[in-house]
């Protein structure tokens, strides 16, 4: 989501006559786009901003901190990081060009952290890669008890389907072949009478769209109708990122996730029975307040049972203002040990799943160069694949997987 927001900011500044640079320190305006989903990300952004004091003072320059940290910690940044000129929350980017011009003229600081119904309609950035993102929703109203997103990004709102279609047409014109529709819970998409399954159908018929994906699906709202649309439309990839968070029903309830492990298993069974070649990935939080050893083991068992194609493992991080922040925390050593154990279990499963790819042929859309003379691309299932051949970004080849290095499948072009 932040990558996409950075593209929006880039486009808004380009419209004001600015150019981006690959050497940030040579810039006139330095923008740090921040995340606060976990404490670690927030602390890194603060430390990084503090480290730019000398850069800021060495010339007539503007330093901006934008995004979720700017939204939640504007006061702290104002007081502690006096070299920051511009502080913008996620809904305040439209004015960024004017704000920069004003600061240049007045040398005074600007803070804008108003949340609104903003969806950045009509702002189509110039893509610079084969794969790109299109935001279909912003904000979130689910209030999972651990999560800061609803507080820093405001309530859920959907972008007009016609604007989504226009942006996709624009991206396709610039050579984008793999488009990921973005939202904190895409299954809640709703514009006029169009729901998410209809939106998928609507964008999949846009001429030239080679691949469509979407991120993220909340298991409580994921529908069988969506599975059906994916099954029927060849350019919608059969990759499902369905964050489970925990394998314990008591913890899921404390997390306010509104589904049970049984419901989740039912979704996985349905997806796999309808689309056997599908890949399913997930997010897991370990060490949630009051999680017992037995409940943690339930999560490990669920990982082993479902055998995800990939999983992002996070240690629980206290986010100020959330409901879980007032629940009794587990001790640091227990949280760390559980994270390490869950990563080990996840790694074993992912290696096993990746090794099962050996000998099979996958359609790979190449995106970039890889080490040496090789190339990197993605399968429809969102798995990165490396080949030794040099293949131009945007080309599609059938690749036979021959070995696995770490968790990465390596292959040879099978249709050369
Ligand atoms: N909207 C998405 C998640 C966005 S945040 C969804 O509902 O699935 C991405 C992931 O970060 C979450 O799935 C969760 O696993 C993790 N996360 C969010 N808040 C967290 C916290 N306080 N501590 C640890 N992990 C967290
Ligand atoms: Fe956070 Fe839950 Fe919303 Fe995802 S659905 S962004 S985890 S509150």
Q: What is the mean pLDDT of residues 56-67?
A: 95
Ligand nearest to the CA of 144: 2
| Contact between 35 and 41 (Cβ < 8 Å) | yes
Per-chain mean pLDDT for the chain: 97
For the record, the structure tokens of 7 come out as 């593209």
- Closest atom of ligand 1 to CA, residue 243: 8
The domain spans of the chain are 2-112, 131-355, 361-413
Q: Are 136 and 116 in contact (CB under 8 A)?
A: no
Ligand nearest to the CA of 324: 1
Q: Whose CA is nearest to atom 12 of ligand 1?
A: 283
The closest alpha carbon to 377, from 158, 387, 91, belongs to: 387
pTM of the entire predicted model: 0.97
Q: Of 3.30.1130.10, 3.40.50.12160, 3.40.50.620, 3.40.50.920, which CATH number belongs to 2-112?
A: 3.40.50.12160
State how far the Cα of 175 lies from the Cα of 127, in Å rounded to an integer: 8
How many Å apart are CA 407 and CA 362, to the nearest integer?
16
Distance from residue 101's CA to the centre of ligand 2 (Å): 35
Which residue puts its alpha carbon closest to atom 1 of ligand 1? 184
Average confidence (pLDDT) over 332-356: 98
Q: Which of 214, 243, 246 to mutate to test the pocket of ligand 1 (most atoms within 8 A of CB)?
A: 243
**What ligand is nearest to the CA atom of residue 1?**
1
Interatomic CA distance for residues 343 and 345, integer angstroms: 5
Share of the chain above pLDDT 70, in %: 100
Ligand 2 neighbours, Cβ below 6 Å, are 140, 142-144, 147, 149-150, 184-185, 218
CA of 321 to the centre of ligand 2 (A): 14
Buried residues in 178-215 as b, exposed as e (16+ CB within 10 A): bbbbbbbbbbbbbbeebbbbbbbbbbbebeebebbbbb
Q: How confident is the model at residue 154 (pLDDT cuts 50, 70, 90)?
A: very high
Contact yes or no for 227/271 (Cβ under 8 A): yes
Q: Is the domain covering 361-413 a CATH 2.40.50.140 domain?
A: yes
Give the Å distance between the CA of 131 and the centre of ligand 1: 23
Give the percent of the chain with pLDDT over 90: 97
Does 416 have pLDDT greater than 80?
Answer: no
CATH architecture of 131-355: Alpha-Beta Horseshoe (3.80)
Ligand 1 atom nearest to CA at 148:
19
Residue 107 has pLDDT above 90, yes or no: no
The confidence band for 415, taking pLDDT boundaries of 50, 70 and 90, is confident
Q: Best substitution site from 184, 283, 322, 323 to test ligand 2's pocket, by max atoms within 8 Å of Cβ?
A: 184
């Amino acid at each position: 989501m932040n990558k996409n927001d950075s593209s929006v900011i880039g486009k808004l500044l380009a419209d004001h006559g600015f150019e981006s640079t690959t050497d940030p320190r040579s810039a006139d305006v330095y923008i740090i786009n921040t995340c606060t989903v976990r404490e670690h990300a927030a602390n890194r952004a603060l430390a990084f901003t503090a480290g730019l004091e000398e850069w800021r003072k060495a010339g007539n320059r503007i330093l901006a901190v934008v995004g979720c940290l700017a939204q939640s910690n504007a006061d702290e940044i104002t007081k502690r990081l006096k070299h920051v000129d511009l502080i913008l929350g996620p809904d305040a980017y439209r004015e960024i060009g004017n704000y920069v011009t004003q600061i240049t003229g007045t040398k005074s600081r600007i803070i804008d952290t108003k949340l609104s119904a903003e969806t950045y309609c009509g702002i189509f950035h110039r893509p610079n890669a084969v794969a790109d993102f299109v935001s279909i929703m912003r904000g979130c109203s689910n209030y999972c008890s651990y999560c800061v997103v609803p507080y820093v990004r405001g309530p859920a709102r959907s972008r007009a389907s016609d604007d989504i279609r226009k942006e996709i047409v624009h991206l396709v014109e610039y050579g984008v072949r793999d488009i990921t529709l973005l939202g904190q819970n895409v299954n809640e998409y709703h514009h006029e009478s169009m729901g998410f399954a209809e939106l998928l159908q609507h964008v999949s018929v846009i001429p030239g769209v080679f691949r469509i994906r979407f991120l993220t699906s909340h298991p409580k709202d994921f529908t069988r109708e969506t599975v059906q649309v994916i099954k029927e439309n060849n350019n919608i990839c059969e990759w499902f990122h369905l964050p489970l968070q925990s394998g314990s029903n008591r913890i899921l309830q404390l997390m306010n996730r509104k589904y049970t492990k049984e419901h989740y298993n039912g979704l996985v069974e349905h997806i796999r029975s309808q689309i056997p070649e599908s890949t399913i990935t997930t997010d897991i939080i370990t060490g949630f307040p009051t999680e017992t050893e037995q409940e943690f083991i339930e999560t490990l068992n669920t990982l082993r049972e479902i055998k995800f194609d990939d999983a992002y493992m996070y240690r629980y991080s206290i986010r100020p203002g959330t409901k879980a922040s007032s629940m009794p925390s587990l001790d640091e050593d227990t949280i760390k040990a559980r994270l390490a154990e869950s990563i080990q279990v996840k790694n074993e499963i992912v290696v096993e799943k990746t090794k099962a790819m050996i000998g099979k042929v996958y359609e790979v859309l190449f995106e970039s160069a890889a080490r040496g003379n090789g190339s990197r691309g993605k399968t429809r299932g969102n798995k990165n694949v490396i080949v030794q051949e040099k293949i131009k970004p945007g080309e599609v080849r059938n690749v036979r997987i021959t070995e696995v290095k770490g968790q990465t499948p390596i292959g040879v072009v099978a249709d050369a």
